[in-house]
């Protein structure tokens, strides 16, 4: 227990990185996932095909592979750099790319299932007053679709918090990698350190689940 207290600043710093990874890639995934969902319901076959291909490739590839590809493929081979001298900043953004690319595929499918719950008449009424396809989607369909899928989106965010640990694979010093390092430094306190980190993740995810459940009830569309 002493080790946990002593290392508390280090542990909190690691979780702060976890939070940053979650928030940044969560926002990017939400936006990109909604764009993908719009592509998958668009009247243009090319966009529908591209959206379906993306989702099926990314959703069926292990996250570890995607993150390692971002680190080695994008970072080392293709030399994608976000900072010339700060290597940790570089791997931070490369892992954001991987996490967002992966999570957005799931967001797309959740949002698309939400779109399918909106009755066809809503889109017809929107078109009948002269809204364009994009306006119909943005003003009428998506607001209703997203409200019906807040709870599953909350689950995706929950999964994302835990998935950020995969960024450890390319050296991002988030909670899981920090925990492993602390094990090396405090071989006698593995269980307390482990429990400390586990509690940290629960503290992050539990309020999120409660919040998304409440939001889902509050914003539910009554028909």
Partner 1 sequence: MTEISGSDPLVRLEGVNKHFGPLHVLRDIDLSVGRGEVVVVIGPSGSGKSTLCRVINRLETIDTGTIVFDGRELPAEGRALARLRSEVGMVFQSFNLFSHKTILENVTLGPTRVRKISRQQAEQRGMELLERVGIASQAGKYPAQLSGGQQQRAAIARALAMDPKMILFDEPTSALDPEMVQEVLDVMTGLAKDGMTMMVVTHEMGFARRAANRIVFMADGQIVEEGSPSEFFTQPSTERARDFLSKILTH
Sole binder of partner 1 in the list 45, 46, 85, 121 (CB under 8 A): 121
User: Toward partner 1, which CB reaches closer, 81 or 144?
Assistant: 144
Least Å distance between CB 219 and partner 1?
A: 9
- Quick one: which of 191, 208, 217 has its CA closest to 157? 208
How far is it, in rounded angstroms, from Cα 43 to Cα 92?
A: 37
Number of H helices, E strands in the chain: 11, 0
Distances (CA, A) of 209 to 38, 134, 204: 26, 31, 9
The C-alpha angle 5, 9, 12, rounded to 5 degrees, equals 100
Strand locations in 131-210, DSSP E? none
User: Toward partner 1, which CB reaches closer, 8 or 134?
Assistant: 134
User: Does residue number 122 form part of the binding site for partner 1 (CB under 8 A)?
Assistant: yes
Sole binder of partner 1 in the list 5, 76, 83, 124 (CB under 8 A): 124
Least Å distance between CB 151 and partner 1?
A: 17
Least Å distance between CB 114 and partner 1?
A: 12
User: Does residue number 223 form part of the binding site for partner 1 (CB under 8 A)?
Assistant: yes
| Residues in touch with partner 1 (CB under 8 A) | 119, 121-122, 124-132, 135, 139-140, 143-144, 147, 221-223
């Amino acid at each position: 227990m002493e080790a946990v207290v002593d290392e508390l600043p280090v542990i909190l710093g690691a979780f702060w990185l976890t939070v940053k990874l979650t928030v940044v890639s969560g926002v990017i995934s939400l936006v990109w996932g909604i764009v993908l969902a719009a592509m998958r319901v668009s009247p243009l076959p090319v966009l529908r095909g591209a959206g379906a291909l993306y989702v099926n490739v990314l959703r069926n590839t292990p996250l570890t592979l995607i993150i390692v590809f971002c680190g080695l493929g994008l970072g080392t081979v293709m030399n994608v750099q976000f900072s010339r001298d700060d290597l940790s900043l570089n791997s931070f953004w490369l892992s954001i790319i991987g996490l967002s690319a992966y999570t957005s595929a799931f967001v797309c499918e959740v949002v698309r299932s939400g779109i399918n719950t909106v009755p066809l008449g809503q889109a017809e009424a929107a078109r009948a007053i002269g809204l364009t396809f994009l306006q119909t989607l943005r003003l009428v369909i998506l607001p209703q679709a997203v409200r019906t899928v807040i709870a599953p989106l909350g689950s995706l965010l929950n999964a994302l918090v835990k998935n950020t640990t995969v960024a450890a694979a390319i050296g991002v010093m988030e909670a899981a990698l920090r925990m492993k390092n602390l094990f090396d430094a405090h071989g006698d306190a593995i269980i307390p350190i482990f429990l400390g980190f586990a509690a940290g993740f629960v503290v992050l995810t539990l309020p999120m689940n409660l919040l998304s459940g409440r939001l889902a009830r509050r914003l539910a569309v009554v028909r």
